[in-house]
Structure 1
């Protein structure tokens, strides 16, 4: 078939609840069932104490900031993100959780501003307000024309990939699954007669074989496949060996991209057999700006992942990583100094995987597959 590379935009966690929801035109009930913070507006005030005033009733595009123009300039063929919040007015608080995220359904134009083609929902916050909240989330997203994978009214629906059309009659299939290692309660798993998410207890050989089998059955000639996985801890750069084995098994089984997320900061990027494996994309939008305690990870720095794939093989042609910074709950281009810091961290933590990262004069980080990958 040949042709131009297929470019995908991938993002980590997009968390539009809590403090972010409070600055948008239709803030929901600010009450929080948290032990230390009981009002979502407190997170806005913490961010303001660090970087200055944040507008209330801000335009829907505010949290995305400069990212929107950057995405428009890149013109990706598909945009995929992990939506890590419920979209509901439900008060059915999930028990036993320390943090709960929800955004008012009337604020969905904020998500739509980024024009996502697929939203991964198999994560540890989409059922924060119960199955009633999940039903409203699914209905609200569908009514807004936003397509989802990873959660549904039963297991079959939760496992159904989003199928996107590409040029030349090709398709891009997006699967979404979550793992218990990211803090997802076992009771959130979808079953044949219960709503929930596509949940795997662990990154085992058997679980990888099951997912790879679904990929092979769904993938047709010329199709590309992204498997989006919510897994692992919030902090740290080490990638557990079972996650590496799981990712490799998915690529061996037909996945073209493994899109990992859950960590609040970027984790290593690997090119395995020519295919990109993102072990943790980091947060893209959240309300953590005024929260301290993990400053050494610089979670204020965010990345837009732009992957260009060879259309015939799905192998990586190159990847551009665009560094951004959260400032006043809005994304802006990162400074040269911060970009250099991020490049050094990603190069150092990615070196066990043989990942080389270069920095161009425009402030973009680039990954190219090595000749032997």
Structure 2
């Protein structure tokens, strides 16, 4: 019998890890392309543009929750900034043209938080430049397996890399001779659990043996303006364990992650440098139409343009501050509120941090 190669070992170990949680996890063959060797020559500087929640409009329970321009101009105000090797966001919902959600018993009032974007909206996200998405969140399953399966098929057809479901926990891909892995975590049903840190670390460690840069995304933490700070404990929200995001972020970096991108609280949170790796604890609501509160801190968010060196260590970042309201939608914020929010929260939550906020709109490393 021939010995198992690293590809087979990664496949088998991933099945074992997530079956330990009582759920079978299959790894589509498309996620395991080009994993035999790690490229030796990589770029001196890697650029990652990262944003938070994206939900361009939901046709459920009524088409009144779709924008008048059919979402075509959703990213118009920020299109010059959606550039880089990786352009990342969190897809807060599924792509599906029809169907009802068992999540909503009352579809008459405005209390139904179930999101299915028309399938054509996926092309708008692709056209904007996004090439990496997290689908690990509490809305990807709003329309059951049909919503999840349709979403994955559409993303596959558009060649957008994605991760976060137990049926698709990670994806490996190559851009400009750099090999990347994306894996994503959340506390929700059918997603890869943020609350099983041992399994998360094992997955990250095995991915790091296969690629140059491991990107970890998480959907975690309590929601709303009362929860801007990063606690060092599990966050319980609506009787659900939303994870200990501080412990999780540090743990996956210990295991080999090169950057950690968080979302879920619907507000901007602090950033941190840990072992030379960059952590964004929450990127807030980026482009969210319809049933989202956009009042106060919920209406501002950063677009981060992050630079890493070839080893995945943080070099610098530019913070493009954006804002939303239900009339004007997504636009640039000339008051730079998201930048100042990040600065204030980072100074408060991590007083010994090694980041430099002295230049407006920029995050550097202290010398």
- Name the TM tier (shorter chain): 0.7 to 0.9
Q: Is the 8 A contact 2:336 2:361 kept in 1?
A: no
Deviation for aligned residue 1:232: 1.1
Q: Is the counterpart of residue 324 in structure 1 residue 336 in structure 2?
A: no
Deviates more, 1:262-271 or 1:209-218: 209-218
Q: Is the 8 A contact 2:47 2:306 kept in 1?
A: yes
SS across alignment from 1:122: coil
Q: Is the counterpart of residue 120 in structure 1 residue 134 in structure 2?
A: yes
Q: What is aligned with 1:367? A: 363
Q: Is the 8 A contact 1:16 1:102 kept in 2?
A: no
The two structures have a TM-score, normalised by structure 2, of 0.75
Q: What is aligned with 2:214? A: 225
Q: What is aligned with 2:264? A: 262
State how far apart, in whole Å, the 2-side matches of 1:366 and 1:285 are: 22
State how far apart, in whole Å, the 1-side matches of 2:342 and 2:293 are: 24
Q: What is aligned with 1:109? A: 123
Q: Any gaps of 5 or more consecutive residues in structure 1?
A: 19-27, 33-38, 45-54, 190-196
Q: Is the counterpart of residue 199 in structure 1 residue 193 in structure 2?
A: yes
Q: Is the 8 A contact 2:97 2:118 kept in 1?
A: yes
The two structures have a TM-score, normalised by structure 1, of 0.74
Count of aligned positions: 307
Q: Is the 8 A contact 1:92 1:130 kept in 2?
A: no
Deviation for aligned residue 1:342: 3.3
Deviation for aligned residue 1:282: 0.7
Deviations 1:314-372 (A, max 9, x none): 11011111101225353222123646753553444444352545364xxx62222335x
Q: Is the 8 A contact 2:317 2:362 kept in 1?
A: yes
State how far apart, in whole Å, the 2-side matches of 1:359 and 1:288 are: 36
CA gap of 1:150–1:343, structure 2 versus 1, over 3 A, is closer
Q: What is aligned with 1:50? A: none
CA gap of 1:113–1:3, structure 2 versus 1, over 3 A, is closer
Q: Is the 8 A contact 2:45 2:307 kept in 1?
A: yes
Instruction: From the two aligned structures, give the one with the greater helix fraction.
Output: 1
Q: Is the 8 A contact 1:16 1:84 kept in 2?
A: no
- The equivalences for 1:230-245 within 5 A come to 230-235=219-224, 236-241=227-232, 242-245=244-247
SS across alignment from 2:247: helix
Q: Is the 8 A contact 2:270 2:343 kept in 1?
A: no
Q: Any gaps of 5 or more consecutive residues in structure 2?
A: 1-40, 106-111, 233-243
Deviates more, 1:259-268 or 1:112-121: 112-121
Q: What is aligned with 1:21? A: none
Deviations 1:127-177 (A, max 9, x none): 1111122222222222233232112xxx3x321x2223244x331111111
Q: What is aligned with 1:145? A: 159
